[in-house]
Copies of this chain bind each other. A is one copy, B any other.
Amino acid sequence: MAPTTRQPAEHPDPPAAVPPPPARGKGRPRSAAADLAILDATREALAELGWGGLTMGDVAQRAGVAKTTLYRRWPSKSELVVDAIASLFDQLECADHGSLQADIEAVVARFAELLSLPETQAALLALFAEGTRDLHLRRRIRERIVQPQKVLVQLGLANAQARGEMDPELDPAGAEEEIDIIFDTIAGTVEHRLLVSGEPVTPDWVRRFATLLLNPFPGLLH
């Protein structure tokens, strides 16, 4: 979560599902402006310098803030970047486009759009890489970045069911694994195409990919 809301205690880790009581402490309250400035500076620096080039000192300077202020809020570079990037994923949504194919295409296109931003390009894989080792970070990433996407898949399937495109008896419990597999496929494929293969995601590619998912393998006899 963006640490904008004051946390009297330490680092703002806990999900804070319940917004903590304002907890008006005694001292000087944390500057909300600083948080925004820092996150903006982080995104800017990411787009400019990439993950490797990003330094805490530089972010602090861009944000017009002391390094101490950064560390008071985020315990490490990775956590800072999670929050800086995560907000971009808040805009994901899944309108009903009338067919499962159309919905999938929309989701894929929107996700590809996000992954084409310089700051996301620079940060996403690096974050995932760090998450490979740091369990705590991995949890943060899942909450803030992965989960919002997964929800879209669930929503899309629910919509399809509602439209009568799908067998209405699948979802409730047993489809859990099916959702996972579809989600990993969509997210992983788009990431791999854009960030590893380095090829663009065109509308045509989106259509073909969605078709591959929904239909029998093209050219396959029987």
Contact = CB atoms under 8 A, between A and B. Distances in A.
B214 A214 contact: no
10 contacts: A100-B217, A122-B133, A131-B196, A166-B219, A166-B221, A175-B219, A181-B212, A184-B189, A185-B192, A191-B191
A216 B216 CA distance: 5
For this chain, the copies found in one complex come to 4
B132 A50 contact: yes
Given A51-B129, A177-B208, A181-B205, 20 more contacts: A52-B130, A122-B133, A125-B125, A125-B132, A132-B195, A164-B221, A165-B222, A167-B219, A170-B219, A180-B197, A180-B199, A181-B212, A183-B197, A184-B189, A185-B189, A185-B212, A187-B188, A188-B188, A188-B191, A188-B192
B214 A213 contact: no
Nearest to A122: B132
